[in-house]
Structure 1
């Protein structure tokens, strides 16, 4: 069934991208090709039946998926969207609202199922999915709630919805309360969060993510550490979550004398309840299916039956929801489940020859899942985690208790809050261990290797993973070969790959130049805009070399202090430098092309848009003294790939207060903390920028006390993750799939 399942998967991938006539034409071509091959090749009856099943599933997924996708491309709502009509709708809230912070401020995105639409003087009653965008603060929306909204329709981004709706007004209907099951699930989610509140920000955010996948409270820093250490799968709803919770319930039911049928009914009821708790979104449905497949496949005994269960699950999922076939999460989930079903038992038996069986299983399961996902993870992110297997092994004993206790705390807290908090006190122990493993693993040297995401790299990883899968059990039968192979793979992999820098998709790097400032904004494959040059020529030259920057179309020197300008020769060494921008604090440039920068100026350089926010036009013509140079710093707003970055020089509270008054609505994603994170900050302005990431450029063990603890506390209190050059060398901000993340070298 594996090949027919892949055929259905391929059919669904094509289906959501083509029209129905194209799908029928492709189906006819496939059937014609099969008939020609069958006429020329004498196949056995079993082989012929196998080919027939493959074709039926491919054609079925292709045609059914195209019909469903076509329904979203035609009809009343898509027609109104093509005209960008203004409409009023009555709709059901189909997903939890999600806040998106972009270039033009904050928006709330929510999927609506439109039941009634009024536009162009006509009213239609229908059922059509749309993606709604609400600018600014959105009302409190709950899943299953019925709302009234008005706004302008626009074409959908893909075939999964019929249109987008830019909302101008939105309000819940008085008679549109969610059904009782949605209300109950919402209360349980709130009780789970309340049970672990006050146990530390990381633990309080992690437990809801483990239990039902709500990860909105996680800091970007913890997300990044979990990604580096290979623990990201814990932050999303997966088959593991369902397997743990259902397995726990069945373990409780067995001593009570429940029969097989009762236990099956309990497993089904628990699965339905869990889907309601975690929301019936595609990722949750996928996780529920894969979790049940894992339990069923392993319980039947035999890899062939387990693989058959997985194959039929893939077929069922892509036929019911063809858009899941294009989901990276579905790919990783299916591959991880396949690795566990096919490889883990063999590896476990090989290891069990010379170690306890429980330890062999603990090693084999995460290793098999990680191997199966290595190549696609590299294709998606350009990185391979070198500590993932070990981190998962060390964290695994705590995942089950943290998940089960998290749910138990919510259930206990429903009738009486203090009872839930008591359970939450115990839950914090395993959850805290998982946080500790994720943080410490990510901090290890070479925790993640940057391998790139090209076709050659991914193909090589596929070949290597296949060889390991085919021969790994032979090497694991004895301890000495196992240790030697592990050491060899680690040595060969870590040595050439761990220096992988710069990370793929980087947009900004704060260079480690000691006690000074130098930052680089990516303007092209080998081009970068440099903001300040630091105090040392060698340090900034090394940073630019490591980033492979050969052209500097613009160099901005924010002010004339030595810790920002003395490294100028290192920037220009062997590079094509365009022009230099300076403010009212002007350094000596020895004949270089220098231009005065003043507020309001704006340029586009490659992927970058740069806007000068300070100094003011009235101040720029007057030279300032060295004592006043900090507040005369050039302040820039950089925009690239939907991310806003504020570069602040060394502005201090007076200049920061001026910026706050001049730009009261300024919101950014990243801020370069002024003056190396000194204590002299306008805390209200710094915290009010809305940044999620901050960089601090300061020297290790500097005598100024930079960055100041009070400044770090202000940033953390505002939910900002701080990247410091004194703690980790060069630091980078990268943008992947629309999300910005920090990477330490």
Structure 2
């Protein structure tokens, strides 16, 4: 199992890096945090000097010194880099809410923003991670930034420099990027990347082009399996890969790095090279591979481990897996402490640790009841899943029950697709015909993996809903530890105690979290079309069309919104509409970070909009500012933006008004428009009759009678809190709706409610508090 002594310093470094990068957000001075750790190390060193005759004191103090030294490196690195961010000229520009002329250098492969808006067939925008190298014509110390651009992915390759005018927003210290840039006008590529990076552009582009000529999802997976390029992977396939726990196959992993390094090392050995030459050849091949696939967190982790092993080989020492992983984690977190908060890096490290520590023992246990090859094949995905699942529930509070079988079925195809696709990538620029043939060969295992993903994700009962966030992760980690005790303990009494504790640990929180929703869910219709979430004094409305979901506003409270989404079984938001930036409409956005594909919003409002859009964008959501006339689709439904005008100032009267036309009904969501803005809306467009209206401003008195008469809706949804202090909804508004023969559904009295359209202008109504259906 290797040397476990470095695990404690690695864990301490990880925890320190996690906390240190957020020190400034908590009002702490990062330099003081780092200084405190080094002071503690100095105190321990003094203890060693004073107690040098006591062997036990020296041993404990030495371990503590290594732990504190590793933690101190991470804290010091965070302090230096946070200070560099604070001194950047972009800090003052962001504080003034102005724009700047910047030059950025791309540092990672661009990622597609899979938007469900705008015209069909348009290529998605690309999220680009970069570092700013010049501001307003002056060279500056590089700091990390993120932006969204529209050029083809091949034009945004690693090392390319781009000039643009952009609005600058500062991000929290805990974020990987220090600033978000929102381009104003066209971004101009200044020139190709340097030669040591430019060589990889052509092979990557040729592989993508060759795969495009093939059919089905296998064509989209070939570049992902080979070089981690997921640009062609659509939303449906991506969701299937996630649901079946196969998405790791499209991220370049340690296995890819190991194959390349071992191949180079072995080839040099066959040529009779000395050990130092073999190590050098492996390092050169590894560096070239990282450039080709771009430095993703999983690749960086695997590359650092490979370097640690190669250095150990060069020095004539054994390079154990545990020691190599620990050294890689400590070194990388000391270089870039923000990796401690990167899910890709965490999953990569956890999966590697699981394989090193658990795969062998699990295979031994399984071999007692099944053939050895099957035991080994099952132990590998099981070990990785056990190690990664506590992290995965932070991203999606559910357990993929078919993940291990799906990985077992995909396992024989993955290395074939990876190796053949990688060889094809390298051969295509030189021998196009041979490379194209190899791509066709790689298509076969890639297609098999796609079939497995779709098959596993479509099976019933594939998701076991779990507690969300940190409590869910800690609970699952505890359960995993207890299960391992049950499997590996040799004493029956130990296994009995572990079983009892496991039952208790599971029963209480799972019963509390699942009991209520199960009781309510037993009466809730499963085929609802619209829903009004009870989130207090605020709006959060859901629309579901086919398999696509839209959320209009998030209410004020993340916990309340999260409860509603769990109650209604919503784990992914294809389209999030933020009508405006007041807290009662945007304050709960934290609940959907990492779950959103596209955000539609009205005019930006400085820090208020940046606080909402920043975290959503960092988690992969594309933000699009919309105005009257913009159109798009949600599943088979179509929508248009009826308001605001292009020159609108942010506020209630610039609320985004969404007009949605679905099969069987039409719904209009009025945001917080006041009477004057409602009159302007009526002058600018012909609304006509709707089946559902989301009543403006929680039912305030500031309403246009004419707009509700024109809409003549069957149902009026009012998101409002009980005892809200504003008198919402007002008697005047309720009388107005009654005159329009609109049935009122209000969340303060009925809780979360759903509407199910029957296609004849009527709706089935279910409300949480009553628990009974009705006809409207």
Written as runs of structure 1 = structure 2, the 5 A alignment for 1:224-623 is 224-250=239-265, 260-290=275-305, 305-352=320-367, 355-453=370-468, 455-473=470-488, 512-513=526-527, 518-520=529-531, 522-524=533-535, 548=567, 601-603=670-672, 620=688
Structure-1 separation of matches of 2:452 and 2:349: 26
Matching residue of 1:205: 220
User: 1:187 offset after TM fit, Å?
Assistant: 0.8
Q: Distance in 1 between matches of 2:517 and 2:231?
A: 25
Tell me the SS of whatever aligns to 1:149: strand
**Aligned counterpart, 2:195:** 180
Secondary structure of residue in 1 paired with 2:183: strand
Match of 1:57 among 67, 70, 83: 70
Q: Deviations over 1:578-630 (max 9, x none)?
A: xxxxx9x9xxxxxxxxxx999784349xxxxx999999976747xxxxxxxxx
In 2, the alpha carbon distance for the partners of 1:289 and 1:136 equals: 33
Alignment partner of 1:71 out of 64, 84, 89: 84
The answer to whether the Cα contact below 8 Å between 2:283 and 2:307 also exists between their aligned partners in 1 is no
Structure 1, unaligned runs of 5 or more: 476-480, 505-509, 535-543, 550-582, 586-595, 605-609, 622-631, 639-696, 703-745
- 1:218 is displaced (CA, Å) by 0.9
**Cα separation, 1, equivalents of 2:545 and 2:164:** 52
Structure 1 contact 131–165 (Cα < 8 Å) conserved: yes
Q: Give the drift of 1:215.
A: 1.0
CA distance in 2 between partners of 1:253 and 1:356 (Å) = 37
Q: CA deviation at 1:66?
A: 1.2
> Which residue is equivalent to 1:117?
135
Paired residues of 1:209 and 1:215 also in contact (CA < 8 A): yes
SS at match of 2:129: strand
What SS class does the counterpart of residue 152 from structure 1 fall into? strand
Name the CA distance, whole Å, in 2 between partners of 1:45 and 1:131: 45
Against the structure 1 CA distance between its residues 500 and 223, is the aligned structure 2 distance closer, same or farther, given a 3 Å change threshold? farther
- The Cα of 1:521 is off from its aligned counterpart by 5.1
Q: TM-score when scaled to structure 2?
A: 0.60
Of 15, 18, 31, the match for 1:13: 18
Give the equivalent residue in structure 1 for 2:588: none
C-alpha change, 1:306 and 1:287, in structure 2 (3 Å) is closer
The CA deviation at 1:117 is 2.2
Match of 1:44 among 30, 35, 57: 57
Contact 2:206 2:429 in 1 (8 A): yes
Instruction: From 168, 179, 182, give the equivalent of 1:166.
Output: 182
Matches of 2:238 and 2:695, distance apart in 1: 26
CA contact (8 A) 1:195 1:423 kept: no
In 1, the alpha carbon distance for the partners of 2:666 and 2:235 equals 34
For the Cα contact (< 8 Å) 1:191–1:409, is it kept in 2?
A: no
Task: Check whether the contact 1:72–1:161 (CA below 8 A) recurs between aligned residues.
Answer: no
Q: Are the counterparts in 2 of residues 188 and 414 from structure 1 also a CA contact under 8 Å?
A: yes
1-structure distance, mates of 2:382, 2:34 = 42
Answer yes or no: is the 8 Å Cα contact 2:167–2:181 preserved in 1.
yes
Shift of 1:60: 2.5
Structure 1 pair 251–327 and aligned structure 2 pair: CA distance change class (3 A) = same
Paired residue for 1:680? none
Residues 467-504 of structure 1 show CA distances to partners (whole Å, capped at 9, x for unaligned) of 333453469xxxxx9xxx9xx99xx99xx99x989999
The residue that corresponds to 1:22 in the other structure is: 32
- 2:131 is paired with a residue of what secondary structure? strand
Change (3 A) 1:528 1:305: same
Residues 284-314 of structure 1 show CA distances to partners (whole Å, capped at 9, x for unaligned) of 3124235666999999999994322221111
TM-score normalised over the length of structure 1: 0.62
**Shift of the alpha carbon at 1:548?**
4.6
Task: Report the more deviating stretch, 149-158 or 6-15.
Answer: 149-158
Q: 2:141 aligns with which of 117, 120, 127?
A: 127
3-state DSSP of counterpart to 1:190: helix
Q: Distance in 2 between matches of 1:258 and 1:192?
A: 33
After superposition, the Cα gap between the structure-2 partners of 1:385 and 1:254, relative to the gap in structure 1 and judged at 3 Å, is farther
Q: Distance in 2 between matches of 1:599 and 1:457?
A: 37
How far apart are the structure 1 equivalents of 2:666 and 2:236?
34
CA contact (8 A) 2:38 2:68 kept: no
Distance 1:388 1:615, change over 3 A: farther
| Structure-2 change in CA distance of 1:280 and 1:613 (3 Å) | farther
1:9 CA drift (Å): 1.7
Deviation track 1:541-573 (CA, whole Å, cap 9, x = no partner) reads xxx999757xxxxxxxxxxxxxxxxxxxxxxxx
| 8 A contact 1:598–1:620 mirrored in 2 | no
Alpha-carbon separation, structure 2, partners of 1:527 and 1:600: 10
- Is 1:339–1:371's contact at 8 Å kept on the other side of the alignment? yes
Q: Offset of 1:408 from its aligned partner?
A: 1.4
Q: How many residues are paired up? A: 551
Q: Secondary structure at the match of 1:127?
A: strand
